[in-house]
Structure 1
Amino acid sequence: MITLHALQYSRATRVLWLLADLGQPCNRIDYDRTDAFRAPAELSKVHPLGKSPVIEDDGEMIAESATILRYLAAKFGDDTHTPPHGTAEFWRHEALFDYVEASFAEVAVRAIMPAFRGEPVPDDAKAALDTHLAYIGACIEDGPLLFGKDPMLADIQISYIIALLARLELLADHPKVLAYWDALREQPGYIAATRAAGPMAPPS
């Protein structure tokens, strides 16, 4: 059975979501955040960078949530969380899947961190975030999710950052992304993951 090292209020919920969709159990080891909202020292014993999520499977240690999601889809022969391979939609999906952490996360964090501290979001950070949220809104097209009604790996991957932005009320100017967030929260895998491990974003 897969072992998942899961930090509270973290990207680990992405892994639980996919596992729930695939009907696969895991041995979950939970780690609470410190008073400073950081990962505890115990996670450094799992991964040199103190990262979460990390999974262990058949003697292999795998980090990075995108890699973990791809690994699980391959391991369990899942083809329901990507468009058909080789199609234009498949490559659009792959670009969005990698976009989340390669481009969007850094921009989002520049707004999330001051908002989390109760400080105003700098104008340049807000402008950059709005550009990306407008891009995501355009990618949703007819919705309710990025590729229609069924959740893809890209939806699972982006959900964590959208959850943080929603928690900090940074989606108010983007009703299409807000509606997308509502649709994400209605997904059975999201519901199962958050019931099992708590919400993606810390409570108010």
Structure 2
Amino acid sequence: MLTVHHLGKSQSERIVWLCEELGIPYALRHYTRDPVTILSPPELKALHPIGAAPVITEDGLVLAESAAIMEYILARHGGGRLAPGPQHPAFADYLYWFHFTNGTLQPAMGRMMILGRLNLPADNPVRQAMQGRLDRALGLVESRLAAVPWLAGQEFTAADIMIGFTLTTMRYFHPVDVTPYPAIRAYLQRIGGREAYRRAMAKGDPGMRLLLD
């Protein structure tokens, strides 16, 4: 049995959502952040040395890193769904946007989150440079979604699951005003309209307000 080890308000929501989209059987084990440090509990470090979520276990396998887990589940359980293959015209776009989230957008948000906690003034050159990177990343997403309904093109794919966390729950850690991005706002409404997303969030983070606007 595939088990998803899920930490509240974390990237592991991607894995729960993917399993719901694919309609595959899985067990869900919840973990709670330390109330003082807001970090993962010791139980996750006992499961995997990195001590963070997501982690999956299956038939003796222990695997971490959300992108790696996504690719593993798609390859083992996806049956060709949600991941266009090499012959598909959207293959290159899918690959780019699947890796864009953790390669570009989320690091930019993470750096701004840390800089914000350092209380650097708004005119600090490092803060300005990092804000510029984040603005460019969001601008690129906005341009893409103004042209197509989903990141890879006309079809919903795992690339959309990857970026969903970053554009929603990640904003609990680094608030981003999406008001200037109408295409992103419309996209978030499309995500919120997916039954699998709603099921995943209700199971993984019940009661949490979904940042879809």
| TM-score range for the pair, normalised by the shorter chain length | 0.7 to 0.9
Amino acid aligned to 1:40: P
Structure 1 residues 203 and 160: CA distance shift in structure 2, 3 A:
closer
Taking the aligned partners of 1:25 and 1:162, their CA distance within structure 2 comes to 27
Partner residue of 2:38?
37
* 1:58-104 C-alpha deviation (Å, 9 max, x unpaired): 11111111111111111124322023433442022112111211222
Contact 1:160/1:201 (8 A) holds in 2: no
* 1:106-159 C-alpha deviation (Å, 9 max, x unpaired): 111123446689988743332221100111122224333213454211100111
1:27-176 alignment runs, 5 A limit: 27-35=27-35, 36-113=37-114, 122-148=127-153, 150-164=155-169, 167=172, 168-176=175-183
Amino acid aligned to 2:19: L
Taking the aligned partners of 2:201 and 2:183, their CA distance within structure 1 comes to 23
Q: CA RMSD in A?
A: 2.7
Given the two structures, how large is their TM-score scaled by the length of structure 2?
0.83
* 1:158-203 C-alpha deviation (Å, 9 max, x unpaired): 1111014655243222221122122112122211100111169778
Partner residue of 1:188?
195
Which blocks of at least 5 consecutive residues in structure 2 are unaligned? none
What is the Cα deviation at residue 43 of structure 1? Answer: 0.8
Amino acid aligned to 2:45: S
Amino acid aligned to 2:74: A
Contact 2:22/2:78 (8 A) holds in 1: no
Taking the aligned partners of 1:166 and 1:143, their CA distance within structure 2 comes to 24
Given the two structures, how large is their TM-score scaled by the length of structure 1?
0.87
Structure 1 residues 152 and 201: CA distance shift in structure 2, 3 A:
farther
Amino acid aligned to 2:191: L
Which secondary structure state, in structure 1, belongs to the residue aligned with residue 63 of structure 2?
strand
Amino acid aligned to 2:184: V
Which blocks of at least 5 consecutive residues in structure 1 are unaligned? none
Q: Which moved more, 1:169-178 or 1:39-48?
A: 169-178
Contact 2:146/2:183 (8 A) holds in 1: no
Amino acid aligned to 2:142: G
Which secondary structure state, in structure 2, belongs to the residue aligned with residue 147 of structure 1?
coil
Amino acid aligned to 1:154: A
Taking the aligned partners of 2:189 and 2:110, their CA distance within structure 1 comes to 21
